[in-house]
Structure 1
Amino acid sequence: MDLDALLHHFFGTADLDTLDEGAIELGIERLGTAFGTEREPGRRFALWTLLHALGEAPDPATAFKDARERAAAEAYARAAGRAAQS
């Protein structure tokens, strides 16, 4: 999945800095709905990582029933946290 395409699809632009709070909230709501209904694991994980980047991702323990997907999400969250600190 292409990040710019995802942003454009859910937010109408690839530049979130141009949006007001209401537009961002609406985009996050759309993204959350897509995450909740997506069944293909790779696409679902991509949507979760975008939610995570926006600070709106559900906890991996509740978001992913499959142990491998959950472990991947936890590893991603740890790596993203380390990257944010450096």
Structure 2
Amino acid sequence: MDLDSLLYQYFGTDDLSQASSAAKEAGIDRMQVDLGLETDPAKRFALWSLLYMLGQAPDLDVTFKDEAERDAARNLMDLIASTEAR
């Protein structure tokens, strides 16, 4: 799953700034549903990552049952936080 494909799939555009508020809300809702239904770990991580960047990700313990997946998510969170601190 690449970012442009996810954005287009859920928001109808690969440029999120072009999506209306209603489209963003609907896209986030659909992503959260799909995250709950997805069984492929890589796809779940991609969906969770985008939701995290949009400020709408569920808690790690709810999303990832595997400790390695939670650690990978924490690493992503730390990486994003380190770029925001600059």
- TM range, smaller chain: over 0.9
The alignment of Structure 1 onto Structure 2 pairs a total of residues equal to 86
Distance 1:2 1:63 in 2: 20
Report the CA distance between 1:27 and its aligned residue: 0.5
Report the equivalent of 1:11.
11
C-alpha distance after superposition, 1:18-70 (max 9, x if no partner): 12211100000011111111000011101110101111111212211111101
Report the equivalent of 1:46.
46
- Which residues of structure 2 form unaligned runs of 5+? none
8 Å Cα contact 2:5/2:14 also seen in 1:
yes
Distance 2:29 2:57 in 1: 11
Report the equivalent of 2:34.
34
Distance 1:13 1:20 in 2: 10
The 4+ residue runs of structure 1 with deviation greater than 2 A are none
Identity %: 44
The TM-score, its normalising length taken from structure 1, stands at: 0.93
8 Å Cα contact 2:31/2:47 also seen in 1:
yes
Secondary structure in structure 2 of the residue aligned to 1:58: coil
Paired amino acid for 2:66: D
Taking only aligned residues, the RMSD between alpha carbons, in angstroms, comes to 0.9
